[in-house]
Every structure is written in C-alpha cells, then in structure tokens.
Amino acid sequence: MELTRSLVESQAREYRNREPLYAVEEENLETLPAAFESGEYGRRDAAWVVRWYYRRFLGDYPDDERRDAEERFRTNDFEAVRVAIADAVDASDATAGIDSLTALEAVDVPVASAFCMFIDPDEFVVVGPREWSTLRDADELPHPYPDPPSVSQYETYLERCRSLADRFDCDLWTLYRALWRLSD
C-alpha cells in the first residue's frame, strides 16, 4: 500500500463517519489540551485518556487486560498524576514527556503517547499496533510493532508521522484517523 494525500484525506473522513468514538475524541481534543495546560481537570479527565486508549479498539483488546490497566491507573495518587501531566506539558521533547508519564502505574509508552496527544495534538500522536502496522504495510517503518514500543521506538514512529503529516499537508490527528481506518 502506498500512502498518498488523497488516501489520507478520504480515510480520515471515513473515520469521522464510521468510528463511534469520533465525537467524544474530537470534544476531548478541543478541551483537554487547555485543561492539562492550566491544571483545571479532574481525576476522571485523566482516567478518560487511559480508558480511551484501550476502548478505542472496541472489544478487540482483551477485556481483562483493559480492566486491569484502568484499575491500576486508578491506584495512582492523583497528585502524582497531576505532577506527571504537568511535567509532560512542560517537557521540551517527547522523551521527557513520555518519561514523566510512564512513572505512573499502568502507563506504558503507548498510553503515555495517548496522554501526549491529548496534551498537545499538534505535536504528538498516539501509537499502537494498528497505526504502527499500517505504517509498516506502507513501508514507512521497517520493523513490526514492538509490544510495547520503547521511548526511542516511539520517537521514530512520531518522526515518521510528523514527516507524513508535512508531506500530506495535514495535522497529526488527521493522519492518525487515516492510519486507524487503513488498519481495519
């Protein structure tokens, strides 16, 4: 498969029309960045990001693993969550942001990438097996999905996504939606 601008645009539109979580994702992409920046958010807002990461698979992710991750995230002291998010907001690069978030229980690199996307969707995009596999199928990444990816592997993925977004003159959220649909 070859990724093209028209393919990315059409698949991103298809995502909007077909994916049941689109409306809530769009709403949270509009509200969470400012909330995380200002610190004006609650425990449920932070937990939503973790729930979203797993539930976006719409049942394709093992339910017991999803529930375990959601439960383990709830065990984090909320002040520790706030500090990790504030550090990620203030981070100068992806590594620092991911490192601060992965200090939390139940937050690995993929979940941290979801937080980063909802902290700054202009700079970050979530990573997971579907998006990675789409890029690999398009010969944009050389290796199969590392489960889970390391921080340096996420940085490679992120740089590839940024490069593609520049090439196709779109934002990372549009690219994400296309990659998700193409993996279906």
Predicted local distance difference test score (pLDDT) of residue 100: 96
CB 114 within 8 A of CB 148: no
Model pLDDT, residue 174: 98
Instruction: Say what angle helices 94-102 and 151-168 make with each other, to 10 degrees.
Output: 130
Rounded CA gap, 158 and 51, in Å?
A: 22
pLDDT (tens digit per residue) in 119-163? 999 999 999 999 999 999 999 999 999 989 999 999 999 999 999
What is the dihedral sign for C-alpha 141, 146, 147, 153? negative
Give this prediction's pTM.
0.95
pLDDT of residue 150: 97
Instruction: Summarize the confidence of residues 74-83 as an average pLDDT.
Output: 98
Other residues' Cβ atoms within 10 Å of the Cβ of residue 111: 25
pLDDT digits (tens, 9 = 90+) for 104-127: 999 999 999 999 999 999 999 999
Cα distances (Å, whole numbers) of residue 116 to 56, 62, 128: 16, 24, 13
Confidence grade of residue 57 (pLDDT, cut at 50, 70, 90): confident
At 60 the pLDDT is 76
